[in-house]
Amino acid sequence: AVVNLDNSVVDLETLQALYENRAQSDELEKIEKHSKASKEKENAKSLDKPEQFLYELSLIPNFSERVFCILFQSTFSESICSIHRKLELLQKLCETLKNESGVMRVLGLVLAFGNYMNGGNRTRGQADGFGLDILPKLKDVKSSDNSRSLLSYIVSYYLRNLDEDAGKEQCIFPLPDPQDLFQASQMKFDDFQKDLRKMKKDLKACETEAAKVYQLSLEEHLQPFKDNMEQF
């Protein structure tokens, strides 16, 4: 399955487990030494099943290098697509927040009501903008009788005075989807850079491991691995 790239025989999850639990060089050296000694002596203790299994894995031509390449290839496209989807979402949200009239109206109401409430203060009552950290606090600002929040008042004012389709089937939520906003808020460019650096490093390692297979494998063991890697 490893030589022929046949995932129907051994799935990727199993390959991952095999790769992570493969015998290291020092372990393999001891196993081979014991195996050789047991053949030369009568009544010698044979390898236990785990060691025998690791030994048989080592007999697969360039097992470690092949599996590393197969696993990397299987996750590469999904990793790239995942980053691309996140960046697309972020770009879409940025464009919506910058250009959508509904967003502008809602933020305009927040600014207008904030200035009105701070009307007696020359500095704070004539603001041209506000920090986004104010938005989560709107729900905490209450009316004098504590019956409603500033957030609920802004929503009702918007629906009553600015949304012509309020209450109708064609009414559209003026802000980006809250779930999209939450996902975007969790994104960090440092994480993108970290993921891309790791992918670049793993891609280089994959090229190195594939080159080892090309160089060390017998001709009958090169395909379909070589064609698959070169196409990748």
CB atoms within 10 A of CB 194: 11
Find the range with the poorest average confidence among 36-40, 85-89, 96-100, 225-229: 36-40
What is the mean pLDDT of the segment spanning 98-108?
A: 90
pLDDT-derived band at 154, boundaries 50, 70, 90? very high
Q: Which of 186, 187, 176, 199 is nearest to 87 (CA)?
A: 187
Mean pLDDT of all residues belonging to the chain? 83
Residue 112 to residue 126: CA distance in whole angstroms: 9
Residue 160 to residue 191: CA distance in whole angstroms: 43
Residue 66 to residue 225: CA distance in whole angstroms: 8
Q: Which residue has better confidence, 204 or 20?
A: 204
pLDDT-derived band at 84, boundaries 50, 70, 90? very high
Residue 15 to residue 106: CA distance in whole angstroms: 53
Neighbour-count burial of 173, counting CB atoms closer than 10 A to its CB (0-12 exposed, 13-18 middle, 19+ buried): exposed
What is the mean pLDDT of the segment spanning 9-19?
A: 75
Tokens linked to 8:
């129907």
Find the range with the poorest average confidence among 9-18, 111-120, 154-163, 175-184: 9-18
What is the mean pLDDT of the segment spanning 80-90?
A: 93
Provide, rounded to the nearest whole percent, the portion of the chain with pLDDT above 90.
Answer: 28
Q: Which of 61, 73, 54, 80 is nearest to 12 (CA)?
A: 73
pLDDT-derived band at 132, boundaries 50, 70, 90? confident
What is the mean pLDDT of the segment spanning 165-190?
A: 88
Confidence check: pLDDT of 4 > 60: no
Give the predicted TM-score (pTM) of the model: 0.63
pLDDT-derived band at 197, boundaries 50, 70, 90? very high
